[in-house]
Structure formats: C-alpha cells, structure tokens
Structure 1
Amino acid sequence: MNQDVIDWLYGLSAPMVALSKNNGASYTSPFFYPDRDFMDMSESWRIDSRQTLLNCVFDMVDDGHAPLLSQYYSIYSRFSESDWRDYCQAQDDYQKILLEFVEQTFCVCGYGGIRSWDYARMGYVLRNGTTNKYITEEEALWIFSRIAARSQYFYESWHNYFAGWSIGFQFWESLNNKEDLEVLRCELTRASQTNTMKILITDKDSPCNRLPWYIEIDELEKPESLTEYDWS
C-alpha cells in the first residue's frame, strides 16, 4: 500500500493526535504513541484484550454517539426551510434543543454530522491496540480502510471531518445535562475544542496540510483473522 494512503488512514485519528501532541502522539505511526510499549485502556475504554478491543471498535464505528443526532442531520439536509420548521415545532423541548444544535452546526460538518467523533476515537483505539499487540498492523489498516470509506462518503474535506469531531466532542460533553434543558442549551452553544481545531488546521504535519481528502484507497482484502466478524 502506498505510504501516502497509509498516512491518510492513520490521519483519520488526527483530532485525537492534536489533543495529545504534547505527549508524543503521532499522525503517521502505526502506534498512537510511538515511544510507548503499552497503553492501559481498561479504565477509560474497558479494553484489556483483543476481543474487547474489536467488540468496541465494531460497535462504536456505526453505533457510537453519532446515531443520537444522525437522523436529524439527514432530515435537515432533505427538508425545505418550512418543512424543517414544522418538524421542529412538533418535537418535545429536549428534541428542539438538539434540532437547534443541528441547524447551527450543519454548515460546518454537513450531512456527516458527528460521525467523525466516533471514527477518530476508534482510530485512536486501533492504534493503541496495535501497540498492545491486541491486533496486527494489517488488521488495523483493513479496519481503517472501512472507516475511510464511510468518512469519504459522509464528509467533503478534512476540515469538514475535523469539524464533525469537534462538534461531537461538544455534544458528548453536554450529555450529562439532559435533565436541565437550559444548561444543555448553553453547553451546546458554547465554543469547544477551538485550540485543538487550530492545531489541526495550522500544524504542517496535520493530514489536511499534506494529503488531499479524496485520495484513492484500494479495497483491501479482509484478513483471515477477522473473517469470523460479520463487519465490513
């Protein structure tokens, strides 16, 4: 596989790298932290084995936090302004706050919504799983290639993808405020992760400054070691 393509695939976890760049995170290494021999993911991710890692990744890529808003981004992309207003009026107060958030953020993340929040985090998990030898680099790259197909379908640029991650981070931070709708509204309207976005956009090593978004990625054959998993 072309090195630029490999760098592009690992670049899907770039927002997580920008968060941890000062701690030695790499955009392009198979290992998220090249200087570390092991990453303990048992407490934060409940991952302590090959099985728990793969279960997490295969579940979260398509069924992480993004589905909580995906239908709203889809509806907003299809509805006329008047249809959207009518739809919003028919929802309860909690849903109206989420719909307002979707309307405010659609212009920067588009139809993909916050899917990249899940994609980038699972890229982080995969690369740490390679460090821990839970999976091989071949297995990680195949899974990355499937995440890539989703990413290029839902997003139009690196900036689009990064914005989806940032908005997803903001949404995730607000999830504990469901009971207090006014606090939730405030949490969803404040700026979040602006410094991380600045790093992603200005860092010369960031994939958006090195590689085009629409890069040709050959379809990889699924490793035999993963054929028992009905996921692609």
Structure 2
Amino acid sequence: MRRRLYSFVTALVCLCALLPAAFAASDSPTPPGWIPEKNYVVLPGDEVYQSENWAKVLSLRAEAEAGAQLPDAGAEVADASAGMCYETGLLRLRYAQNAPDAAGAQRAYYSAYRAFSAAASNWKDQNGDQLDSVYYALSLWSNRAALLYDFDYSPYLAVSLDRNLTALGLTLADFYDAPYMDQVSDGDREKVAQAVHAYQNRVALYLDGHQLFAGYNVGGVTAAQPEIRNNRTMIPIRTLAEHLGADVEWVQETSQVVMTRAGVQVIMTLNQTTATVDGKAIQMDVAPYAADGRTLIPARYVAEFFDQSVTWDAENRRVDVQEDKTAVGDSNLEAWALPMGAMLSSLNAGDPSWFGLYSRGLPVAGSGSGAYTTNDPPYKSCRRTLSDDWGIDSREALITTVCSMTLHGHNDSFQEAAGLVNGLSASGYQELLNESGEVDRYMWPQTKALSEKWGDRGILCWDLFRMSNLVQWGYEAGYLTYPEALALLEPAAVRLKEAFSSWDEAYENYLDGYNWWARNDMTGQSIWETSHGKRYLLLKESEATSALFDDALFSCAVLPVPGLSAASLSAALSA
C-alpha cells in the first residue's frame, strides 16, 4: 500500500463536541457489529459511556452499518475524551469499508489511525501518565490502523508494536486476529515480522557514554547495524575501531582485518577464532564473519585489545565501551592535563572537562580555528589538527615533538630575545628601537617587560600548556594510549608545579606567552581584558569547569603513571 497524503479530516461533529455533563451511566458498553468482543476495549469511567453520549455513539454506529462514509469535516478528536476518540476510530474503520474507492478507504484508515493515537494519548493523560493495559490495547489499535493505511509505517510500527504486544502478553498472530487485518498481504506481514525481529534483536553501541548506533533505526534497518551472535555483539568492521582512532585495513588475499592503534596491531581472520595482538595469539569465543556484504567483528574483543572497558546492559540491549582508566593507578596527571589544556579545548569546540578534548562518540562541531570540520569524528579532526598545525602525522612524530618541546619550545626563542635586549646598554637599546620596524618597535619593550616580570621562567606556560593539548589530541587520534598520553605530560606537569603556585599565575604566564608569540601589541592593555583572558576568567567561573582549576594541586606531588614515563616512550622509538 503506497502512501497517499491527505489532510487530516476529522469527523463526527456531534460525537466529538458532546459536553461532559453528568448523565446517568449507560448499560454495560458493547462493541459495534463489526468488532468482535474479544477485540473491543472498554475504558472504565470514560464520559463516552454517559447515557446521552452513548446514545449518540449507537446512532452513529447504525448509520455506519447502513453505509455512511467519512464526513468531509468534523471536530478535532484529540480534544475529546479517550473513549470518544476510540469509538470514533472504530467508526472510521467501518467508513473505510463503505468508501467508494481506494483513495477514500485510505483517507478513512488514516483518520482511524489519528483517532486511535489520540485515544491512547488522552487515556494516558487522563490517568496521570499511567501506561496500563487499556493504554496498550488502544495503542495496538493505532498500530493496526497505521498498517492498514500505509505500510511505510512499518519501521516505526515495529517499535510500538513490540512494546504493546509484550505488555499485553500477545503475539503477532493475535495482532492480526482482528477485523480487516485480513487485508494485509502475506508479503507485508513478512516485512512487519522482519522489522519486529530486527527491533527485538537490536543492539545499542555506546562509546564514552554517547551512542554510535541507535541499535534500531526506526526509519529503516540499515546495513550498519550491529547484531548478536553466540551471545557476542558483532559490529561492522570499521565502526568501533576507527572511533577509537585505529587504522583499519582489509587484506583481501588473507581475509584478514588489520587494526593498528597506538603502536598495537590486532589481526582478525574471517571465520577464525584466533586473533593476534602484536604477534601474540589470542583465542576468541566468536569468529569474524561476512553477511549481506558486511564484515562483522566482535565488539568486546576489539575494545579490550585496545585497553577499553566493556559492559553489557541486557535490559536495554546496550553495549558501553569506555576508556579503562584503572591502568594509571593513583596518578593525578589527568587533573593536571585538563586545566592545562582548557584554553585551546574551549577555543576549538572541545569540552575542557573531558580528557581528549572531545568525546570519541560525538562528532566535532565546526567552530574555532584551524582545520575543524563540522561533524568530523574526533579522531579525524585531531589527526588533521596535528598534521596541519604541527606537522605531526604519526605516533613517532608526536612522541618526539612532545619530549623536545617540553624542554625547548617557544620559550627558548623568548629567552634568546630577552638576553639580547637585556644585554644592551641604554644607548644600544635606543639604537635598536630606532632601527626596528613598526612591529619590533613595540615587541622589544614588551620582551624586556616580560623578562623583568617573569625572570628565568620566561613564557614557560605557553609551551607547557600546549603539550597537554598535543597529548590529548594524540590520544583521540589513536597515536597514544591513555596511560601513554599522561606519561608524556608528566615532565610538563612537574616543571609547571616547580615554577608556579596557582592557576591564575600560570595562566597569566600563558597569556603573556601567547601574546608575545602572536606579536600582539599589549602596550597599555591588561591581558585579562583580552579575548583569551576573558575566556579563562569565564572558565574559572563556569559551574561546569571551575573545579578544574584547583590550586591544591600545586601543593601536591605529581603522581606518575606506574611503569611508564616520557623517557621510556622516547627510548622505545629507537629500540
């Protein structure tokens, strides 16, 4: 049955406009002649059963059985009681049979669907949002009318239909054992059964608390859906691995999936339960397989091979994958990393309170500077930033850059400039200014002032803070594991703690460094009045991020990652 678009024409002006005046209750309600008693729903206490209202219902039933058709206009049933809406829906089913052509029948079925839907909604409202057997029975009638009207409703129908049948303890056979359902073809019944089966076997996959899969797409089941096999969640080959930042390669000749993340290589072979992790054989209890043109691999093993924690919520059919942070023990390096990276995270559409700057389960919004693209997965966005802004295209380049810049970054250039200007005599300094161009004419005094202000510390925080962003981008990009990212940051955190005593002081140094590097003329200006300065103050005042800037950290030791250090990571590159 193809969809036909009709405006919603309500009917039965008299029925739906009846006032709910208190009349004596009618005798026990009975179904119309075209509805078996087993399918009829009685709504206890509804005003439709008041004697005057019920008399009108009986009159309209008689007219329908005599051949009446759906009126061209009427009152909006949604404003009537649940019982009035339900009886209106039953009448419209009969009007569909009385219609002179298919278009008229479709129009009546659609109106019936609207009436039954309003009945279920209004019953819930009338009963304080209670979902009882009456609600589910009314909703089941809505399912029937929807199917009679237009099979395009089937993907949406499956979700509601499964819920209603489960609540009432019924089967699909019971659903079809009702008036006019014999009009549903065998082919359409099979499609409904497949849709319900797909919904019942849905799997929702979450990464870092955000959904990668809806588990069941009510707009239609897609080729990207996970499925359960041998009690394991199987996912399309690239789904989870790439969101974790892994490079994925399909080797046709050997039927193998090769996944590489943070220096760890995982190989799975189609239809084989043995995987290799960095050359070590690992036995799985389910094998990757191909189905309907897709290659599916076990989500749990993919996650655990890359040091992620995996939990299964059977009630909601939900798989949750998150970083297993227990590997870093009591290290407090994340508490250092977050405030150090907060400025750039905030400027580039990140979440300053989230290690990695972005949730791996959400696309990156296209704001800020650089190469950020709307709806890019975080691993792609972070790889692009590292490549375009830093020339970093690999794990090796990232580790080398962080280890080098932690000790020798832009602060070296500043100290060189400061040494030059501080080593000049008064006349030599004046001569330097006279010979300088427009920019240098204000940069030399600015360099001199910052040197006097910060001494040997120079613009250290401008380098140290950016190391936090580098390791977090590297983590999201799949170049580093979580423990490795923290271990790489340890030297920067130690230097920060040794040189400064509060976040305000450290950020003041960072902002001075930024403006010096950007060659911004700060003559007569306060850094706290600049856009970056105001942003830091907002971050400190925001309820969402204020707790990050805990000055107590400066009174505590920097606690390293057990068994891992920046030096060991650097040494491993040349091993």
Q: 1:7 aligns with which of 321, 335, 352?
A: 335
Residue 358 of structure 2 is matched in structure 1 by 33
Q: Which secondary structure does the structure 2 equivalent of 1:142 belong to?
A: helix
Structure with more relative contact order (C-alpha pairs < 8 Å, separation 6 or more): 1
Moved more, 48-57 or 9-18: 9-18
- 1:173 Cα shift? 1.4
Q: Which runs of 5+ in 2 are unaligned?
A: 1-328, 363-377
Deviations 1:57-90 (A, max 9, x none): 22322222111223677999xxxxxxx7975654
| Identical columns (%) | 18
Q: Which secondary structure does the structure 1 equivalent of 2:521 belong to?
A: helix
In the alignment, is the contact (CA less than 8 A) between 1:156 and 1:213 conserved in 2? yes
Q: 1:74 to 1:214 in 2, by over 3 A?
A: farther
Distance of 2:508 and 2:485 partners within structure 1: 24
Matched to 1:24, the amino acid is G
Matched to 2:355, the amino acid is P
Residue 228 of structure 1 is matched in structure 2 by 572
Q: 1:119 to 1:158 in 2, by over 3 A?
A: same
Matched to 2:388, the amino acid is E
Distance of 2:420 and 2:501 partners within structure 1: 18
Q: Which secondary structure does the structure 2 equivalent of 1:24 belong to?
A: coil
In the alignment, is the contact (CA less than 8 A) between 2:451 and 2:458 conserved in 1? yes
- 1:151 Cα shift? 0.8
In terms of Rg, which structure is larger? 2
- 1:228 Cα shift? 3.4
Residue 557 of structure 2 is matched in structure 1 by 216
In the alignment, is the contact (CA less than 8 A) between 1:115 and 1:164 conserved in 2? yes
Residue 128 of structure 1 is matched in structure 2 by 473
Residue 202 of structure 1 is matched in structure 2 by 541
Deviations 1:25-84 (A, max 9, x none): 233x331112323321221221221122123222322222111223677999xxxxxxx7
Distance of 1:167 and 1:121 partners within structure 2: 14
2:377 is the counterpart of 1:69: no
Q: Which secondary structure does the structure 1 equivalent of 2:559 belong to?
A: coil
Q: 2:405 aligns with which of 47, 53, 60?
A: 60
Moved more, 47-56 or 207-216: 207-216
Q: 1:106 to 1:15 in 2, by over 3 A?
A: farther
- 1:113 Cα shift? 2.7
Distance of 2:514 and 2:399 partners within structure 1: 22
Matched to 1:31, the amino acid is G
In the alignment, is the contact (CA less than 8 A) between 2:503 and 2:551 conserved in 1? no
Residue 521 of structure 2 is matched in structure 1 by 187
Residue 185 of structure 2 is matched in structure 1 by none
Residue 183 of structure 1 is matched in structure 2 by none
- 1:229 Cα shift? 5.8
Residue 168 of structure 1 is matched in structure 2 by 513
TM-score, normalisation: structure 2: 0.32
Matched to 2:352, the amino acid is S
In the alignment, is the contact (CA less than 8 A) between 1:159 and 1:201 conserved in 2? no
Q: 1:112 aligns with which of 430, 438, 457?
A: 457
Matched to 1:118, the amino acid is D
Aligned length: 209
Greater share of helix: 1
TM-score, normalisation: structure 1: 0.72
In the alignment, is the contact (CA less than 8 A) between 1:88 and 1:96 conserved in 2? no
Matched to 2:471, the amino acid is L
Q: 1:70 to 1:154 in 2, by over 3 A?
A: farther
Distance of 2:453 and 2:542 partners within structure 1: 20
Deviations 1:142-192 (A, max 9, x none): 111111111112222111111111111111211xxxxxxxxxxx7242453
Q: Which secondary structure does the structure 2 equivalent of 1:66 belong to?
A: helix
Distance of 1:118 and 1:210 partners within structure 2: 20
In the alignment, is the contact (CA less than 8 A) between 2:457 and 2:499 conserved in 1? yes
Distance of 1:46 and 1:89 partners within structure 2: 42
Distance of 1:11 and 1:3 partners within structure 2: 16
Q: Which secondary structure does the structure 2 equivalent of 1:134 belong to?
A: coil
Residue 163 of structure 2 is matched in structure 1 by none
- 1:112 Cα shift? 2.2
Distance of 1:7 and 1:96 partners within structure 2: 41
